[in-house]
Every structure is written in C-alpha cells, then in structure tokens.
Structure 1
Amino acid sequence: MRMPVYLENNTRDGRALDEVSDAVDDAIHSNLPNRDVSVNIAKLKAQAQADVAAWDSAAQFDSEKDKAAFRDYEAACDREQHTKQTVEFNVRKRREFDEGRGKRARMGVWEAIEMLETLVDDSDPDTELSQIEHLLQTAEAIRRDGKPEWMQVVGLVHDLGKLLYFFGSEGQWDVVGDTFIVGCAFPDQIIYPGSFTENPDFTHPTYSSKYGMYEPNCGLDSVMLSWGHDETRAPFPRKVSP
C-alpha cells in the first residue's frame, strides 16, 4: 500500500495533489480498519483543501510592488478601440479570419515569440517591455509563484495572438487592449466608458439596449467579444489539449 502523502512542503504543487488523490484511492481499497481509513482520508482531504486555498491566494512575486502606480490609462489606446469595435466590424473580421485558414504563416512557438520582439503593446501602460520580455517575465513570475508547469507554459504563450498585428490588422486597436462584449449596451465598468459615445453602436436601437442582440442569461459562450489577439487564440488550447 502506498503511504499517505501530506502537503506541508508541497503547496501549489499539482503533482502532489495527484499523489493525494492516489493515496485516497489506496486507503479506500486497503485492508486498514475502517477507523484508520476514515482518519487518513479526512487528513488528506483537509490538506488538499488547504492546498486549493493556497492556489487561489494572492501572488507573492510582486507583493511588495505599489499596485496604485499601475495602469496609467491616459497613455493607452483604448479610445480608438472603443470607437471602432462595432458589431459589423467584429462579424467581418471573424469571416475574414475563417476564410484565411490554411493560408497563414507556419512557424514554431519560439519563432512566433521572436516575431513579437518588435511589438510594444500601446494598450498596456504598465510596461514598456517588448513582447518577448513580457512573455518570459510572465512565465517566470508564474514559476516563482509555485504554479504547475502547464500554467507556466500558458503564461509563455498567452499573448501569441498578437501576431495578428503583423497579418492583416488595422492597427493595435483591433489586436490589443481589454476585451468587452459587443452587441449590447457598453457597461460603465469598462475603462473610459465615455469614449464609447463615438461608436456607431452606441446609438443603435438594438445594440444600445441592455441585452442587445442577446437573450437574458444566455451565457458567455453565446456572446460576441471584441475582436483581438485573445479571440484569435482562445480556441487553440481547446483543440490541442487532451
């Protein structure tokens, strides 16, 4: 029988959580007295719950940074994005993107990362790093925070959709920036909500209403998000993940 695994020294360790699960199964199917099995399982579950809480805890790598100094939006490019991200534009871009499948450049992950070296995201005033530095910094921050390897990989490739900037974009405004729902009223919670007044959909009889072209409680899978690097890359992990 495998000995029970405890997580005092393994917080935020995905493999350790797998070992806990295996140990619970071993305890259930072992010949231990019922009382010993119950005690082992209770301890393992308690430790696993503590590990999940640690997973959701605040990041440690930048805990000493002044977050109030982040996001100087006056230097951002959100205003152009808010003016031009209409339903018509989003429908057209998705159609063009689908029609271009099979005609795109082929490259490895590191080639793609290197191609982003010259791009500085104008929508993110928190950093003036190139994208390659940003990706490495993100992956390293996740590693230092004790997250599992798969999450470090996600951090490394999370912005590869910004390659869209080099392949048919109309500017940074349709590649980078914060994402929001189009086709219904723009909420005040979006940064610079006043800049949406120049968007043609702002006065559209349907798109300016609360629910717009959607049904209430339809869910995120049923809405259209503003076009950009996140929308081009979001389907990819689903297709290649086991």
Structure 2
Amino acid sequence: MLYIVATPIGNLEDITLRAVRILKEADYIFAEDTRVTKKLLNHLEIANTLYRYDEHTKQHQVENIVNLLKEGKNVALVTDAGTPCISDPGYEVVDAALNEGIKVVPIPGVSAMTAAASVAGVSMRRFIFEGFLPKKKGRQTLLKSFADEKRTIMFFESPHRVVKTLKDIEEFMGVKNIVLVREITKIYEEIIRGTTTELIEKFEKQTLKGEFVIIVRGNEQEEKKEKVNKYAKDDYEEEDDYEDEE
C-alpha cells in the first residue's frame, strides 16, 4: 500500500498515533527533505529506510515507488510538514499508483490550510484555495479574476513576500479584509486581522518570520443573498414538480 502521511507543521505533539504506527511499519519512507524528516523520526525513535521525493527527484522516483509497491512493499510518503500533495510534491505518485490498481491510504492529520481556516473567524462554507501565487507570470491576471469573488480565498505565502502580496491584492482586487495566520502551532503563532491597507502599514517596516496563510474575506452578504435565492428557487421548483405529479 501507499500511505500518504500527514506530519506536524510545528508542534510535534500533533502527530497522530496512527501516523506513528504507519511510519514504524512502512518498508520505505519517501520524504520531501530527508534531513527534516530524519529529525521527526529521531524524535519518534523510528529507524527506517528513508529516501528523497521532491520536485527534483520525482521523475525517476515515481517509477521506483510503483515498482516497490508492485513487489508488495508498503511505502509511506511524507512532506516537510503537513499533508502531502497540498501545495507539496506527491500527486504524481498517487496518480501512478492508482492507475496501477495499487491501494492508496490517507493518514490524515495537520494541514496549514484547514488549521488557519478554523481560527480565521470568517465563513468557510465555500472557499477557494490557491496555494502559492505565481511569482510573476499570471499573477496579475489571477488576482484580477478574484476582484468580485463572493467566496473566501486562501493563499500560502513566505514571510519575505507577504507585504508584496498584500500590495498586489489591494492593487488588483481593491481594499480587502484580510486574516493573516502565521507560525501555526508554534510558539509565536499569531492571528492578525485587518484591511490590506492596515496590514501593509503594520508590516512594511518589519522583518517577518514564519510561513503565512493569507485569507481574503469574500463578499459574505452577497453570498448569503445568493444562498437564500438559491434555496427559494429550489423550493419553488420542488412545488412545481409536485403539482406536475398531481
């Protein structure tokens, strides 16, 4: 089996009991960065065969992993932190395994996306997740397409690009209400809310540390109207169907 194993994004206590067992029992572990994963395994007192699987090695490692699985070996795939295949390498090997009829098993756990969403205090009934924004090509076009978006939008961002991204959001989407969540599960975990203008002013002259999740509030009032109108329309159509049946 191929196990997709979520690992802590900061606090090592967030590892699940099931994840620990799978990492112990797997014949091979493939990791985005073996040095990072080795620290986790040492903490958990797990001695296991560890290989690298990242953007640079995936071309040949996909075939290697599938061959191991065909031989009856159990393989665990982990990323540096969080859930593999979510803005991290992994989906190619999952796709290849499924195409070969190999069982793929998720070992759920921490994800920066869902952790940030849970403490943002904004509607997550519907949201868009974009991962990391393009650095150049397509960045402006993508942000402009979200200018009138009713749904909540989520991005990942590195600390040295947060202010630039806030400025781009304001330039191409207009002034927006933002939630920044950084250093999730770590000692300096922080939730900061405000407009793009307020947050740019707050952080422009600071040296920022830690990975960020940027949450852009959608137009919740318009979404509520849309929801009410949709349900009203559905009820009306159901009444029409009932009358037709009579």
TM-score by length of 1: 0.26
Q: Higher strand share goes to which structure?
A: 2
TM-score by length of 2: 0.25
Higher Rg? 1
Q: Higher helix share goes to which structure?
A: 1
